[in-house]
Amino acid sequence: MSTRPPFVELLDAARAAGRGVGAFNVVLLEHAEAMAAGAARAGLPVVLQISENCIRYHGGLEPLTVATQAIARAVDVEVLVHLDHVEDPELARRGIDLGVDSIMYDGSKLPYAENVAATRALAEEAHAAGIALEAELGEVGGKDGVHAPGARTDPDEAAEFVAATGVDALAVAVGTSHAMQTRVASVDRDLIARLAASVPVPLVLHGSSGLSDEELRAAVEVGMTKVNISTHLNGVFTRAVRAVLADRPDLTDPRKYVAAGRAALEDETERLLRLLAGTA
């Protein structure tokens, strides 16, 4: 039996097969329910991500994370629980204690040497507990880091960073940016291919909400493996809820309108997972 973290097994297998793995952010409990159900319908794995910002919104790590772990265990497909953009090392350590499957440690605001040292230390702690660590190279794009518009990751530097830190996956800058509400961005396909050839671990695409279906598939086809999507899915959820409330302004029971958001999110989760895996 392999002792490698499930996150590593999943991404390595997807990378070898040229498939993309969807990694979708959980904001409310209904997000986790919908995403797990959509993955079950697709018969494909999914990574459920909980960001440091979302943990702060819910007042702590445990409430949403433990509930999401329970939802992940209740379905017949592989559903992994991942902490996303964690800047606080102590929060990452609490995630390790809680037994999440993987953590994205974001030390990109630190000077390079400090980022390497902190990332390497957390990678060693995570690996000792059977947990994977994702990271990103550094603040190459200004205040928004590697996901700022115009930022690009250098393949040689990326390979050096992975070797120095021992991380299991690397977020890279190839043309996307966070929080885009329109799907008009494009990726640098040549750069992705060069990164995939240089970096020995799976590549992660953050800020994927701004990409069309065609761009998402192209990113996977040239070497991207883990594809993070949040803003687009939040928009799907919100538009469905807004439509019900516009039609039924008398509603006061949240279950009667939030359920519409959950159903829409389940459908889009299934669709996106099939698209990324190349089975659509």
pLDDT in tens, the chain (280 residues): 357 999 999 999 999 999 999 999 999 999 999 999 999 999 999 999 999 999 999 999 999 999 999 999 999 999 999 999 999 999 999 999 999 999 999 998 888 899 999 999 999 999 999 999 999 875 433 335 555 555 678 899 999 999 999 999 999 988 755 444 445 566 788 899 999 999 999 999 987 777 889 989 999 999 999 999 999 999 999 999 999 999 999 999 999 999 999 999 999 999 999 999 999 7
Among 84, 101, 106, 188, the active-site one is 84
- The encoded tokens of residue 155 equal 């393949």
CB of 172 closer than 8 Å to CB of 165: no
Options 3.20.20.70, 3.30.390.30, 3.40.50.300, 3.40.50.2300; CATH of 12-277:
3.20.20.70
Q: Is 267 one of the annotated active-site residues of the chain? A: no
60 — phi, psi (to 5°)? 160, 165
Spell out the domain ranges in the chain: 12-277
- The encoded tokens of residue 111 equal 């000077």
